[in-house]
Amino acid sequence: MTKPDYRLLHSAIKNKDTAFSQQERTEAHLEGLLPPVVDSLETQMQRVLEHLDNKPDDIEKFIYLQELADRNETLFYATLMSDPVTFIPLVYDPTIADACRKYGHLYRRPKGMYLTREMKGRLKEVLRNWPQKEVRFICVTSGGRILGLGDIGANGAPIPVGKLQLYTACAAVPPEGLLPVHLDIGTGNQKLKADPLYTGLREEKLGQQALDELLDEFVAAVEEVFPGCCIHFEDWEGDDAIRYLQRYQQQALVYNDDIQGTASVVLAGLLTALETTGGKLTDQRVLFAGAGSAGTGIADMLVEAMTQEGADKDEARRAITLFDKKGLITVDRDDLNASQQVYARDMASEKDLQKVVEQVKPTMLIGVSTQGGLFSEGVVKAMSRLNDRPIIFALSNPTENAECTAKQAYEWSEGKALFAAGVQFGEEKIGSETRYPGQANNFYIFPAVSLAIYAARPARVDDKLFIEAARLCAKQVSKADREKGKLYPSQADILNTELAIATGLVRYLCKHGLAGIKEPEDIEGWMQTLIYKPRYC
């Protein structure tokens, strides 16, 4: 006697819930195991929306959506892709920050893989436990620097899950080849280690040499177990983030979204702003408030973009000034890493940001400091006195870490500022005009880059690909939108934006001999055959 195929009901990939047809129920012996109604995907989505409307807060909506992803992947992505403006903030930033804070208390079931320092010497063996044998992307974090929350160890596990979900929700990268990984190297967070519900190792962090050896083994194991897989490093501590990108990008297919993705999306917004001001990138003076891996990564990409436009590299570096919690980055400081030293200025020490603005006279002010309120009224007014249209990016998140709000930037500049933040602020009325702050969110870049990698199969990627992504992203902002102060494309049309960027990147990779494929004659049509569409088969 044939038994019911219960696996269909318990497989997130194959499950259709109430959308199984009567014929499918008969053939799989599922009759009586489901309510008699046969729903369409659209009706199921209506039910999902009603469930979400009844949730008391965003963290409960996050939990519900993650459980939906575990139960019915098609319905989960159909929901996300139907209204990205509403749902992306629920599965990623800002809601995911709260989920990370509470992860040990919210934990329901495993997602992805959990590798630990104790598996050293066996990582290949452990990776082979993953049921999907063709993995195209691994997003890996150590939980060392999560969304301005600092070292939260295993509580960072939701980050690679959410990041890979955005690959699919924003750029339609097929989800079956995506593997989130948390690499548990210990934590220095004593509060977490004292929490009985903490899910990670209660050990101090590995030292640098031991960590380097573990990462070397991990990268080699991924290359052997999942050939052609791209490793996406996410939310590593500043020095480690820089070191591992530099260590592996010439020998493996890797990128770091915190460095390259952040730099690319900031560059995209700056290029859009320059379309409004009429200036050239090579003529800008840029002041960074924050000199960690994000700040120096953006600075490095700006230098590379300036050199592509004809500037001398040293000249481009001199156009950039860094400021951190200890003040101006100057040549007489003895606490600088190699990434900061190249931007050290031969100036007197100064800890007052407003005074630095007045001395340096920047055309662009970029905040990556995680210091909420750092861009004071005096700082913004100083930028406004120096520039007809000051370009001010307050990129730190979550919201309480933003260097200033959109309302403050617009009011203190009398509506002149071209403003973007790391979080989404609402539109602001300034006199008779409305300003639309941009969100310099990496989801404009890394899903598109990943779709291009998925399609073109390059052996390596570098900053030049991310610079090209920034230029392609900036081209998606219409003149009409720029006149409203918008610096990024509409999030409501994120899939078409990402497809356009990814298609341009595939052309770029093919043109420069970096692709592992021959460029298709009808590249747009070919890309449509590769992307994921949330439909029941």
Per-residue model confidence as pLDDT tens digits over 333-377: 999 999 999 999 999 999 999 999 999 999 999 999 989 999 999
Which spans in 325-439 are helix H?
338-341, 353-360, 377-386, 406-412
Q: For 122-149, what is the mean pLDDT?
A: 92
pLDDT tens for each residue of 385-399: 999 999 999 999 878
Provide the percentage of residues in the chain whose pLDDT is more than 90. 88
Going through 304-383 in order, the beta strands assigned E by DSSP cover: 320-324, 327-328, 364-367
What pLDDT score does 294 carry? 85
Q: Is 429 helix (H, G, I), strand (E, B) or coil?
A: strand
pLDDT at residue number 135: 98
Stretch 181-197: mean pLDDT? 94
Is pLDDT above 60 for 286?
Answer: yes
pLDDT value at position 418?
Answer: 96
CATH topology for 7-80 is: Hemocyanin, N-terminal domain (1.20.1370)
The pair of three-digit structure tokens given for residue 451, joined into one six-digit string = 């779709």
pLDDT (0 to 100) of residue 239: 80
- CA gap 314, 13 in Å, rounded: 52
The one catalytic residue among 163, 205, 416, 486: 163
Q: Which residues, other chains included, contact 249 with Cβ-Cβ below 8 Å and sequence gap of 6+?
A: 255, 460, 461, 462
What is the topology classification, in CATH, of domain 91-252?
Answer: Rossmann fold (3.40.50)
Asked whether 377 and 344 are in contact (CB, 8 A), the reply is no
Average pLDDT over residues 243-247: 93
Catalytic residue (choose from 77, 92, 167, 255):
92
DSSP per position, 39-90: --HHHHHHHHHHHHHT-SSHHHHHHHHHHHHHH-HHHHHHHHHH-HHHHHHH
On whether the CB atoms of residues 421 and 438 are closer than 8 A, the answer is: yes
Mean pLDDT of 405-411: 96
**C-alpha to C-alpha distance for 152 and 207, rounded to whole angstroms:** 17
* Residue 2 clears pLDDT 70, i.e. is over it: no
For residue 109, the 8-state DSSP code is: S
Tokens of 365: 């002010």
Express each pLDDT in 415-424 by its tens digit: 999 999 998 8
Domain regions of the chain by residue span:
7-80, 91-252, 260-442
**3-state DSSP call for residue 113?**
strand
Mean pLDDT score of the chain, rounded to an integer? Answer: 94
Closest CA to 16 of 49, 38, 48, 36: 38
Amino acid 4: pLDDT: 66
What number does CATH give the domain 260-442? 3.40.50.720
Residue percentage of the chain with pLDDT more than 70: 99
Return d(Cα 393, Cα 368) in angstroms, integer: 9
Query: Does pLDDT of 238 surpass 90?
Result: no
DSSP 229-275: PEEEE-S--HHHHHHHHHHHTTTSSEEEIIIIIHHHHHHHHHHHHHH
- Among 330, 255, 265, CA closest to 302: 265
CA distance 524 to 533: 16
How do residues 78-132 score in pLDDT, each as one tens digit? 999 999 999 999 999 889 989 999 999 999 999 999 999 999 999 999 999 999 9
Please give the average per-residue pLDDT across 268-297, as a whole number.
94
Cα dist from 488 to 9, 272, 377, 465, whole Å: 41, 8, 25, 19
Asked if residue 364 lies in contact with residue 391, where contact means CB atoms within 8 angstroms, the answer is: yes
Tell me if 91-252 shares its fold with 260-442: yes
Active-site annotation holds for 92: yes
Per-residue pLDDT averaged across 233-257, rounded?
91
Query: Does residue 375 contact residue 392 with C-beta atoms inside 8 Å?
Result: yes
* Position 1 confidence tier, pLDDT thresholds 50, 70, 90: very low
Average pLDDT of the segment spanning 235-264: 92
Helices (H) and strands (E) in the chain, counts: 25, 14
532 is catalytic: no
Tens-place pLDDT, residues 477-504: 999 899 888 999 999 999 999 999 999 9
Helix axis angle, 58-71 to 73-82, nearest 10°: 140
Choose among 115, 243, 95: nearest CA to 179: 115
The per-residue pLDDT for range 45-68, each reduced to its tens digit, is 999 999 999 999 999 999 999 999
Predicted confidence (pLDDT) at residue 279 exceeds the cutoff of 80: yes
